[in-house]
Structure 1
Amino acid sequence: MSKLTCPYCYGTFAEKQMRFRCGGLRAPDGKVCPQKPDPVRAKLGDNRVVPPVVEANGKRLSAVCKGCGNIATIQICPHCHSQLPVHYGKIDNRMVAMIGAKFSGKSVYMTVLLHELIHRVGRRFDAAVIGADERTRREFGSEERTLYSEGVLPVTTRTAAADKGREPFVFKFSLGERRRFRSTLRHTVLSFFDTAGEDLESEQGVAQNVRYLGSANGIIVLLDPLTIPGLVETLGLDPSVLPTERQREAAKADSPINILTRVTEVLQKVPGVGPNRMIDTPVAIAFSKVDALWDALPEPSPLRQPAPATAYFDDNNSLAVHAYVQALLHDWEGGQIDQFLAKHYRTYRYFGVSALGAVPPALEPGQLRQKVAKSGIQPHRVEDPFLWLLSRLKVIETGKD
Structure 2
Amino acid sequence: MICPYCFDRAAARQLPYRCLMKAAGVRGGQPCEAERDDIWAEFMGPSVPPALRMRGPVFTAPRGLAGLRGGGPRAACPGCGVPTPVRVCRRCHNDLPSDYCDQDSRIIALVGAKASGKSTYVSVLVNELRNRVGRAYGASLAAMGSDTQRRDRELAEDLYDRLRLPDATRPTAMGFNDPLLYRLSLPRRGRLGEGSRHTALVFFDAAGEDLKSAEAMDRYTHYLGAADGVILLVDPLQLGSVRDRLPPGDGPPLPAVETPPQQIAADLAAQLRAHGRGGSRGQVSTPIAVAVTKTDALRPLLGPHSPLLRNAPHQGASFDEVGRLAVHEEMRSLMDGWDSGALYRQLERDFAKLSLFGVSALGAPPPSHAPADAPKSGPQPLRAEDPLLWLLGLRGLIPMQRPGKHAGKGARS
Alignment TM-score > 0.5, same fold: yes
Of stretches 344-353 and 180-189 in structure 1, the one that deviates more from structure 2 is 180-189
Residue in 2 that maps onto 1:109: 121
Residue in 2 that maps onto 1:326: 332
8 Å Cα contact 1:197/1:259 also seen in 2:
no
- State the percentage of identical aligned residues: 36
Question: In the aligned structure 2, how far is the partner of 1:218 from the partner of 1:277?
Answer: 18
Classify 1:320/1:232 alpha carbon distance in 2 versus 1 (closer, same or farther; 3 Å): same
Classify 1:272/1:152 alpha carbon distance in 2 versus 1 (closer, same or farther; 3 Å): closer
Alpha-carbon deviation of 1:186?
Answer: 1.3
1:70 to 82, 87, 92: 82
1:19 to 2, 16, 19: 16
1:176 to 187, 195, 204: 187
Question: In the aligned structure 2, how far is the partner of 1:242 from the partner of 1:145?
Answer: 23
- Size of the aligned set, in residue pairs, is 387
Residue in 2 that maps onto 1:6: 3
1:136 equivalenced with 2:138 (yes/no) = no
8 Å Cα contact 1:98/1:192 also seen in 2:
yes
Alpha-carbon deviation of 1:161?
Answer: 1.2
Residue in 1 that maps onto 2:288: 283
Q: CA RMSD in A?
A: 2.3
8 Å Cα contact 2:182/2:202 also seen in 1:
yes
Counterpart residue identity of residue 142, structure 1: E
- C-alpha deviations, 1:285-314, integer Å up to 9, x for none? 000000011133111012112222321111
2:356 to 332, 350, 353: 350
1:222 equivalenced with 2:221 (yes/no) = no
TM-score between both structures, scaled by the size of structure 1? 0.89
Classify 1:34/1:236 alpha carbon distance in 2 versus 1 (closer, same or farther; 3 Å): closer
Of stretches 61-70 and 167-176 in structure 1, the one that deviates more from structure 2 is 61-70
Question: In the aligned structure 1, how far is the partner of 2:135 from the partner of 2:324?
Answer: 20
**Structure 2: any 5+ residue segments left out of the alignment?**
404-413
Alpha-carbon deviation of 1:63?
Answer: 2.4
Residue in 1 that maps onto 2:368: 362
Of stretches 346-355 and 370-379 in structure 1, the one that deviates more from structure 2 is 370-379
Classify 1:314/1:303 alpha carbon distance in 2 versus 1 (closer, same or farther; 3 Å): same
Classify 1:397/1:135 alpha carbon distance in 2 versus 1 (closer, same or farther; 3 Å): same
Question: In the aligned structure 2, how far is the partner of 1:357 from the partner of 1:124?
Answer: 20
Counterpart residue identity of residue 198, structure 1: E
8 Å Cα contact 2:251/2:368 also seen in 1:
no
Question: In the aligned structure 1, how far is the partner of 2:237 from the partner of 2:250?
Answer: 12
**Structure 1: any 5+ residue segments left out of the alignment?**
none
Classify 1:263/1:272 alpha carbon distance in 2 versus 1 (closer, same or farther; 3 Å): closer
* Residues 1-400 of structure 1 mapped to structure 2, 5 A cutoff: 4-25=1-22, 26-28=24-26, 29-36=28-35, 38-43=37-42, 44=44, 45=48, 47=52, 50-56=55-61, 59=69, 61=72, 62-162=74-174, 164-202=175-213, 204-233=215-244, 235-241=245-251, 244=254, 247-248=255-256, 250-251=257-258, 254-271=259-276, 273=278, 277-310=282-315, 311-363=317-369, 370-400=372-402
8 Å Cα contact 2:279/2:285 also seen in 1:
no
TM-score between both structures, scaled by the size of structure 2? 0.87
Q: The residue matched to 2:338 in structure 1 has which SS?
A: helix
8 Å Cα contact 2:225/2:277 also seen in 1:
no
Counterpart residue identity of residue 270, structure 1: H
8 Å Cα contact 2:125/2:384 also seen in 1:
yes
Classify 1:213/1:32 alpha carbon distance in 2 versus 1 (closer, same or farther; 3 Å): same
Classify 1:395/1:67 alpha carbon distance in 2 versus 1 (closer, same or farther; 3 Å): same
Q: The residue matched to 1:13 in structure 2 has which SS?
A: coil
